[in-house]
Structure 1
């Protein structure tokens, strides 16, 4: 890693134990590798969230532009009836 910068962070004993266990199990070669992987996952999750939000905005604009609407109460009534008639899980 040519362009690496060290950073100090404070972690709880529980998180430290998890990092060490990931290394001890052989899943990772170092705690730094665990943290880098976690940060990559965090970044991917944030990116996916941004894409989801943009998709919702697009769908909202599309719905508004269609000028087609259904009264919300009618939709909720149908949903209540649908789910009331289904067997309870458990």
Structure 2
């Protein structure tokens, strides 16, 4: 990234977080504290993207379930019996 695209922010860290960051830089895992923060933010962005995809998948499943028709009550034993019967039909 070009330096002109960078923005300086002040961030507060716990002592443990600061120690971990400094240790990662000293060990050579990262070139700078900024690189550690940028990597952490990339991981956060990825997690948020996965979360959004999962929420969309769940919403679709919910919508499909709601569109599938009227629900019915069934006991646990009744459900188990139905599942066993379906399994026997499949072989």
Structure 2: 5+ residue stretches without partners: 81-91
User: Hey, what's the Cα distance between the residues in 1 that align with 2:59 and 2:49?
Assistant: 15
Aligned counterpart for 1:26 among listed residues 21, 25, 28: 28
Segments ≥4 residues shifted beyond 3 Å: 68-73
Q: Determine which structure has more spread, i.e. the larger CA radius of gyration.
A: 2
- RMSD over aligned Cα atoms: 2.1
How many pairs align?
77
Q: What is the CA-CA distance between 1:48 and the residue it aligns to? A: 0.8
Give me the TM-score of the superposition, normalised by structure 2. Answer: 0.73
Q: What is the CA-CA distance between 1:29 and the residue it aligns to? A: 0.5
